[in-house]
């Protein structure tokens, strides 16, 4: 019998997970009989830093728009076997987030399943640990309290009584079973490389701490996060979990946490970053409390100069570094950790050493020319 290559559609391929996912699917020995055929999709055309060899075809469409989605995806609906959902829209108000994210996924599912020749069998949906936490954005709050479950987070914890677009996405894919199987990937803080990512913690911290000349700077945040545990997920491990669940019986119709399998304190991360950026390590000084949002709000023009001077890919600070998103994380008044036991029990053993992940991804950001590297010598940039 002829071997049929599995065909992936990665929606959000230029995002922090999307790129690693496409790269994983293209590996010669990728699970599922790889290398897969990969369609990668996003609203905008691929940027220069995106390696086009990681996709067979790049499709631009806006998933919010049902006509555009149908028009662009109908031609491949008879081919795609697996949908990887690594995209989202964040509008602020959670009811609006629910409406838009649900509509996006529904539009894509409709486009891929409305033809009799549809081959779609599995959908992976990426969500996150906000599943367990309740609302966390409180700008006036200096130590973010938990409105949800006590960590470590487990997949079987009941839903919280707050609107959450993650719940809506889970319900939507579950409503397609058994004609389709699905897996949900509740990622912790993701570490990877993309300049088309709304929330890329490493990129955010790099734009603050890495511009030349190397200057030691303090990390904002609280004594609590400085000294207590948190976890991260390397985008490569997260990609591995998506693929594993998509092709493994025990991964089907389940939700999984996804972390590197180790923990860190922000103090230890700041120490590693100070080494990688070749600057001195600065201890937390609680008497000098500051907010990255305020500190960086007028640094757009300075970033433009850095980009120009060091020949970086053209980016705008406000597009690559959402300081509003990192501040609550640095002020969590609880240990942000998730259990990986369920994943392991079901047979997924992917893991990474968080400190090695950080070094790897900073290297990638430099290689992709998204942040300066220290071969460049520059005069004071006005940041610090």
166 as an active site residue: the answer is yes
Q: Given 26, 37, 72, 130, which residue is catalytic? A: 130
Contact 254, 287 (CB under 8 A): no
Residue 151 touching ligand NAP (CB under 6 A): no
Least distance CB 363 / ligand NAP (angstroms): 19
Contact 353, 260 (CB under 8 A): yes
Residue 62 touching ligand NAP (CB under 6 A): yes
Residue nearest to ligand NAP (CB): 15
Least distance CB 269 / ligand NAP (angstroms): 14
Residue 197 touching ligand NAP (CB under 6 A): yes
The Cα 50–Cα 215 span in angstroms is 30
Report the residue from 107, 124, 126, 257 that binds ligand NAP according to the rule CB under 6 A.
126
Least distance CB 17 / ligand NAP (angstroms): 4
Structure tokens given for 259: 């972390």
The Cα 191–Cα 236 span in angstroms is 9
Residue 173 half-sphere exposure toward CB, CA atoms < 13 A:
30
Q: Which residues from 31-60 bind ligand NAP, rule CB under 6 A?
A: 42-44
Residue 14 touching ligand NAP (CB under 6 A): yes
CB nearer to ligand NAP: pick between 212 and 221: 221
Residue 144 touching ligand NAP (CB under 6 A): no
Report the residue from 66, 89, 268, 335 that binds ligand NAP according to the rule CB under 6 A.
89
CB nearer to ligand NAP: pick between 278 and 319: 319
Residue 87 touching ligand NAP (CB under 6 A): yes
Residue 354 touching ligand NAP (CB under 6 A): no
Residue 3 touching ligand NAP (CB under 6 A): no
Residue 127 touching ligand NAP (CB under 6 A): yes
**Main-chain phi, psi angles of 358, to 5 degrees:** -60, -45
Report the residue from 50, 88, 266, 383 that binds ligand NAP according to the rule CB under 6 A.
88
Residue 254 touching ligand NAP (CB under 6 A): no
The Cα 237–Cα 256 span in angstroms is 13
The Cα 292–Cα 315 span in angstroms is 19
The residue assigned the tokens 């200096």 is: 142
Query: Concatenated DSSP letters for 166-180?
Result: HHHHHHHHHTTTTTS
Residue 199 touching ligand NAP (CB under 6 A): yes
Note every long-range contact of 222-225, with CB atoms under 8 Å and residues 24 or more positions apart, other chains counting. Answer: 222/142, 222/143, 222/286, 222/330, 222/331, 222/332, 222/333, 223/284, 223/286, 224/143, 224/331, 224/332, 224/333, 225/265, 225/266, 225/329, 225/330, 225/331, 225/332
Least distance CB 183 / ligand NAP (angstroms): 14
Query: Concatenated DSSP letters for 119-146?
Result: ---EEEEEEETHHHH-----TT-SSBPP
CB nearer to ligand NAP: pick between 29 and 44: 44
Q: Given 26, 37, 39, 166, which residue is catalytic? A: 166
Contact 121, 180 (CB under 8 A): yes
Number of residues this chain uses to bind ligand NAP (CB under 6 A)? 31
**Main-chain phi, psi angles of 244, to 5 degrees:** -55, -50
Least distance CB 20 / ligand NAP (angstroms): 10
Residue 124 touching ligand NAP (CB under 6 A): no
Residue 21 touching ligand NAP (CB under 6 A): no
- 353 CA to centre of own chain: 18
Least distance CB 217 / ligand NAP (angstroms): 22
Is the previous residue joined to 139 through a cis bond, with omega within 30 degrees of 0? no
Least distance CB 170 / ligand NAP (angstroms): 11
Report the residue from 72, 196, 299, 369 that binds ligand NAP according to the rule CB under 6 A.
196
Query: What is the C-alpha radius of gyration for the chain, rounded to an integer number of angstroms?
Result: 21
Residue 237 touching ligand NAP (CB under 6 A): no
The catalytic residue positions are 130, 166
- The residues that touch ligand NAP, with contacts defined as CB under 6 A, are 11-18, 42-44, 62-64, 86-89, 104, 126-128, 187, 189-190, 194, 196-199, 201
């Amino acid at each position: 019998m002829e071997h049929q290559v599995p065909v992936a559609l990665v929606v959000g391929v230029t995002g922090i997970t999307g790129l690693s996912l496409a790269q994983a699917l293209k590996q010669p020995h990728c699970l599922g009989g790889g290398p897969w055929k990969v369609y990668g999709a996003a609203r905008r055309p691929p940027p220069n830093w995106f390696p086009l060899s990681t996709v067979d075809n790049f499709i631009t469409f806006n998933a919010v728009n049902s006509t555009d989605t149908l028009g662009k995806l109908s031609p491949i609906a008879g081919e795609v076997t697996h949908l990887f959902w690594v995209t989202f829209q964040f509008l602020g108000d959670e009811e609006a987030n629910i409406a838009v994210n649900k509509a996006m996924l529904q539009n894509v599912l409709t486009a891929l399943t409305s033809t009799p020749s549809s081959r779609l069998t599995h959908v992976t949906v990426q969500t996150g640990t906000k599943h367990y936490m309740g609302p966390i954005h409180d700008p006036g709050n200096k130590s973010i309290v938990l409105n949800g479950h006590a960590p470590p987070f487990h997949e079987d914890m009941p839903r919280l009584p707050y609107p959450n677009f993650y719940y809506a996405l889970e319900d939507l894919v579950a409503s397609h079973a058994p004609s389709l199987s699905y897996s949900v990937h509740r990622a912790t803080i993701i570490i990877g490389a993309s300049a088309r990512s709304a929330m890329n913690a490493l990129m955010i911290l790099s734009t603050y701490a890495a511009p030349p000349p190397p200057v030691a700077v303090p990390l904002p945040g609280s004594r609590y996060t400085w000294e207590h545990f948190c976890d991260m997920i390397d985008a490569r491990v997260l990609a591995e979990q998506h693929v594993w669940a998509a092709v493994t019986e025990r991964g089907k119709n389940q939700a999984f946490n996804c972390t590197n399998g180790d923990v860190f304190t922000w103090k230890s991360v700041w120490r590693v970053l100070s080494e990688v950026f070749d600057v001195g390590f600065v201890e937390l000084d609680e008497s000098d409390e500051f907010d990255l949002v305020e500190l960086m709000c007028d640094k757009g023009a300075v970033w433009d100069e850095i980009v120009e001077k060091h020949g970086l890919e053209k980016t705008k600070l406000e597009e690559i570094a959402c300081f509003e998103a990192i501040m609550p994380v640095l002020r969590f008044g609880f240990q942000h950790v998730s259990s990986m036991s369920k994943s392991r029990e079901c047979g997924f053993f992917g893991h990474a050493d968080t400190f090695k992940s950080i070094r790897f991804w900073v290297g990638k950001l430099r290689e992709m020319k998204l942040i300066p590297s220290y071969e460049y010598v520059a005069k004071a940039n006005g940041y610090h």
